[in-house]
């Protein structure tokens, strides 16, 4: 017992030391309100009496008010946004969430719900002094029906833990993303997270069967059905999936888990140009059909960023473009046959210049790790502008060379990578440090170009704090009006995650 | 120029969570992903590099096990081995296959194939025996260079840097010799597609232990295989005073 205590303390102190090093080695990010020139709305301010109330429904240690304790909750992980919250609440169940929200609504206190804080658009950190509602302690798995594959769990469960849990029962989570070790299922639902296998298993509007959420007035909306078919009236769960905590707080989800594939293979290929990437995708769809579970691309600079900044091994030589193909199937022999035919054909045709293919779990992990690490690989080099956009495949990669040309040597690096299967590209622009001047060269330019190409300015990261002013590039005014009406209906005082998603009229 | 024999073992992939069989007779292997023992991969890589540097004329990969061991051999061939020998050991015999048997097989094959060098991983990650290289050397009466982190060829002899407690030891051996690869010897390559294709056509010979005159009667009996004890959950304590009190209570300070 005591050993464990010491162990835990050591872990905690390690984390604290690491965080201190992290925060001390780099200046704190500028306050979001100053950086983006936002005015505080007319919300109440948290008083001593409010803190006492929170302590009465939670307990002393689940109400954080010490400046150092609260700081990590005020900053997003890409260190782009910094809020000024004074209090973090850590409820343990739906009832506590409900009580907190009702109280805040009555007192007109703004609330910022936070899951794993892995978002990329500043949606999970406060802007001013919103009360941070940390959902991490709602982390219980409630049930798993091993026959239907339906998992019911609380919002704070970490995606990777859930995946480990269901894998032991021959199922997998229908989504997988780079942040899986930190992100929480409630956050995934609230942001309609996409990820690496959307191509195969669809998005969360499909795989989430039911949701329990808390409305702004504290009412618990229990739509936690486990039925795949439920056409009884309006499909309310969809209001909470992807609305980024502005319509309600997701507290539980029921989610449909696909069967654990018996045969998994990963191929990693070098390709000479983007046109070849597209041709290879077309060929992969035809040859691999139903076993294709991911088709990812990354340009040389993107992979090189993982290799040089994080010192990860690249299993093959250097090529202008890389493609990662994954198959999920139920029969190793059947899959291997299909895959070999595909590889033979495309090695012969020259679309694949070189590559490697493996079914060994450890090697597959190494390859995936190289791809998944791209997102975080440049953070030590300076400031990273990150874009997550959908662009029709014909013009999918156009923006990267355009941005390189436009920015010239003002950018340390510009690279693109993403999910070809979903027309979703991530573009990262690395600059030595953030300046308004460079920012204005990039935004709204990127969004204008995406709009011209009929793409979406936010494919999977959401709108959050960073993109409301650009949402009109992808949504018409009448649609925005309906969104506002929904917001007014469900959260009349506007306390839930303010300054996010909806643009000022 | 020398001919190199490399031993490769098929083991449960290190990324897979190991489960103990309910009857405690061993671990669950059915339906579990296997791959080449990582230390053996390092051994193959070293042999292939020797060939690339023209220090070796031929690399022969050997694996003892059921028919799936051929997949492991194909991996070795795709990494650059020239040919492979599959010593088929299946069923109950495979369950009790031990380092002494493998050493005898490797020793016999070294003589049959006129190998000048045997390289194996320092240990397999499943049984952690760390005996095969030593036993093979003894059976052949060849010098041994175990836990090699660097191998250099110098006028008909080998200079080997070994990782030992507290530092490095440099030894010189004559050839023929038996070597075992340590973690830092090299970083094994990924088999590239063209080489994976080529590997399918490389020769793979199947023999039995009987053909080699090796008796597979077990020398060791596994009594019980058990999970490590589950770590107890920790608890968070509010402050240093409580910690000190708890430590005193437990007699730690």
- Output the domain CATH number for residue B150: 3.40.50.620
Of A5, A343, A357, Cβ closest to residue B237: A5
Determine contact, residues A419/A198, Cβ cutoff 8 Å: yes
Q: Which two tokens stand for residue B230?
A: 């589950």
CB contact under 8 A, A354 and B235: no
CB contact under 8 A, B15 and A7: no
Determine contact, residues B77/B22, Cβ cutoff 8 Å: no
Q: HSE (CB half, 13 Å, CA atoms) of B102?
A: 27
Of B194, B234, B246, Cβ closest to residue A347: B194
Long-range CB contacts for residues B65-69, cutoff 8 Å, separation at least 24: B65/B9, B65/B10, B65/B89, B65/B90, B65/B94, B65/B97, B66/B90, B66/B91, B66/B94, B68/B10, B68/B34, B69/B10
Identify the residue with better confidence: A253 or B253: A253
The reported pLDDT for the residue numbered A26 is 57
CB contact under 8 A, A363 and B190: yes
For chain A, say whether B217 makes contact (Cβ under 8 Å). no
Interface test with A, best of B15, B234, B237, B248 (most A CBs within 10 A): B234
Size of interface A-B (CB pairs under 8 A): 76
In chain B, which residues have pLDDT < 70?
Answer: 1
Average model confidence (pLDDT) across chain A: 91
Tell me which residue range forms the domain holding B33.
2-249
B32 to chain A: closest CA residue = A262
What count of other Cβ atoms lies within 10 Å of the Cβ of residue A227? 12
CB contact under 8 A, B13 and A343: no
Sign of the CA dihedral with A362 first, then A368, A370, and A372 last: negative
Which pLDDT tens digit goes with each residue over B201-227? 999 999 999 999 999 999 999 999 999
Q: Which two tokens stand for residue B189?
A: 């390559």
Of A4, A315, A363, Cβ closest to residue B232: A4
What is this model's ipTM? 0.82
Identify the residue with better confidence: A20 or B211: B211
CB contact under 8 A, B35 and A352: no
Say how far apart CA A377 and CA A314 lie, in whole Å: 14
> In this model, does residue A13 exceed pLDDT 70?
no
| Residue A272: DSSP 8-state | S
The beta strand positions in A257-353, using DSSP E, are 263-271, 292-299, 321-329
Which pLDDT tens digit goes with each residue over A313-341? 999 999 999 999 999 999 888 998 899 99
**Whole-structure pTM value:** 0.83
User: To 10 degrees, what angle do helices A332-349 and A274-288 make?
Assistant: 150
Exposure pattern of B174-204 as b/e (b: 16+ CB <10 Å)? eebbbbbbbeebbebbbbbbebbeebeebeb
Say how far apart CA B57 and CA B117 lie, in whole Å: 11
> In this model, does residue A412 exceed pLDDT 70?
yes
Q: How many domains does chain B have?
A: 1
> In this model, does residue A9 exceed pLDDT 80?
no
- Residues in chain B closer than 8 A to A353 (CB atoms): none
Determine contact, residues A290/A201, Cβ cutoff 8 Å: no
Of B35, B197, B232, Cβ closest to residue A362: B35
3-state DSSP helix/strand/coil percent for chain B, to nearest 5?
30, 30, 40
Long-range CB contacts for residues A47-55, cutoff 8 Å, separation at least 24: A50/A87, A50/A103, A50/A107, A50/A109, A51/A87, A53/A103, A54/A87, A54/A89, A54/A100, A54/A103
The reported pLDDT for the residue numbered B1 is 56
Q: What Å distances lie between residue A198 and A229, A391, A397, A460, B85, CA to CA? A: 21, 16, 20, 11, 43
């Amino acid at each position: 017992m005591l050993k464990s205590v010491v162990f835990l303390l050591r872990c905690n102190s390690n984390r604290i030391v690491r965080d201190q090093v992290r925060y001390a080695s780099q200046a704190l990010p500028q306050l979001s309100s100053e950086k983006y020139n936002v005015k505080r709305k007319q919300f109440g301010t948290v008083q001593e009496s409010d803190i006492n109330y929170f302590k009465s429904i939670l307990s002393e240690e689940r109400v954080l008010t010490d400046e150092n304790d609260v700081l990590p909750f005020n900053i997003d992980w890409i260190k782009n946004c910094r809020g000024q919250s004074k209090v973090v609440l850590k409820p343990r169940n739906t009832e506590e969430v409900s009580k907190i929200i009702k109280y805040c609504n009555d007192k007109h206190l703004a609330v910022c719900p936070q899951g794993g804080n892995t978002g990329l658009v500043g949606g999970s950190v406060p802007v001013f002094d919103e009360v941070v509602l940390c959902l991490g302690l709602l982390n219980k798995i409630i049930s798993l029906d091993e026959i239907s594959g339906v998992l019911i769990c609380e919002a704070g469960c970490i995606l990777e833990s859930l995946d480990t849990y269901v894998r032991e029962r021959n199922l997998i989570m229908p989504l997988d993303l780079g942040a899986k070790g930190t992100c929480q299922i409630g956050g995934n639902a609230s942001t309609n997270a996409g990820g690496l296998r959307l191509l195969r298993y669809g998005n969360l509007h499909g795989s989430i069967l039911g949701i329990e959420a808390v409305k702004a007035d504290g009412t618990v909306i229990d739509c936690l059905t486990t039925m795949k078919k439920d056409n009884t009236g309006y499909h309310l769960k969809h209001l909470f999936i992807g609305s980024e905590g502005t319509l309600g707080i997701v507290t539980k989800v029921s989610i449909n888990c696909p069967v654990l594939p018996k045969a998994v293979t990963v191929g990693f290929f070098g390709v000479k140009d983007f046109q070849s990437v597209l041709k290879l995708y077309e060929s992969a769809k035809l040859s691999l059909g139903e076993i294709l579970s991911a088709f990812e691309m990354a340009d040389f600079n993107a992979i090189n960023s993982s290799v040089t900044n994080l010192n990860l091994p690249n299993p093959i030589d250097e090529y202008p473009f890389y493609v990662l193909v994954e198959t999920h199937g139920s029969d190793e022999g059947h899959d291997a046959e299909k895959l070999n035919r595909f590889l033979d054909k495309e090695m012969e045709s020259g679309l694949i210049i070189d590559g490697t293919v493996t079914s060994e779990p450890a090697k597959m992990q190494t390859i995936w790790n190289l791809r998944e690490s791209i997102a975080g690989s440049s953070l030590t080099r300076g400031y990273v502008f990150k874009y997550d956009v959908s662009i029709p495949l014909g013009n999918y990669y156009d923006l990267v060379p355009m941005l390189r040309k436009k920015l010239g040597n003002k950018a340390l690096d510009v690279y693109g990578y993403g999910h070809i299967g979903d027309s979703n590209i991530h573009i990262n622009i690395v600059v030595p440090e953030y300046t308004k001047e460079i920012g204005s060269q990039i935004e709204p330019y990127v969004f204008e170009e995406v709009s011209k190409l009929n793409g979406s300015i936010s494919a999977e990261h959401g709108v959050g704090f960073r993109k409301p002013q650009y949402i009109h590039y992808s949504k018409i005014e009448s649609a925005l009006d309906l969104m506002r009406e929904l917001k007014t209906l469900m959260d009349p005082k506007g306390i839930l995650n303010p300054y996010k998603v909806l643009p000022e009229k | 120029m020398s001919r190199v024999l490399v031993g490769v073992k098929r083991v449960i992939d290190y990324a897979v969570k190991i489960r103990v069989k309910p009857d405690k007779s061993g671990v669950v292997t059915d339906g579990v992903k296997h791959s080449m023992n990582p230390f053996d991969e390092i051994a193959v890589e070293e042999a292939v590099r020797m060939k690339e540097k023209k220090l070796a004329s031929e690399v022969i990969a050997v694996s003892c096990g059921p028919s799936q061991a051929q997949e492991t051999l194909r991996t070795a061939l795709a990494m650059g081995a020239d040919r492979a020998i599959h010593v088929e050991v299946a069923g109950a015999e495979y369950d009790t296959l031990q380092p002494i048997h493998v050493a005898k097989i490797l020793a016999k094959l070294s003589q049959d194939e006129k190998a000048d060098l045997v390289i194996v991983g320092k240990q397999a990650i499943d049984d952690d025996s760390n005996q095969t290289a030593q036993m093979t050397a003894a059976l052949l009466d060849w010098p041994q260079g175990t836990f090699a982190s660097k191998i250099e060829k110098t006028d008909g002899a080998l200079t080997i840097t070994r990782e030992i407690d507290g530092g490095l030891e440099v030894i010189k051996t004559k050839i023929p010799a038996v070597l075992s690869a340590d973690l830092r010897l090299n970083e094994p390559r990924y088999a590239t597609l063209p080489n994976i294709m080529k590997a399918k056509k490389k020769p793979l010979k199947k023999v039995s232990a009987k053909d080699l005159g090796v008796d597979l009667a077990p020398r060791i009996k596994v009594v019980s295989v058990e999970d490590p004890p589950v770590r107890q959950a920790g608890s968070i304590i509010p402050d240093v005073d409580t910690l000190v009190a708890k430590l005193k209570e437990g007699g730690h300070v």
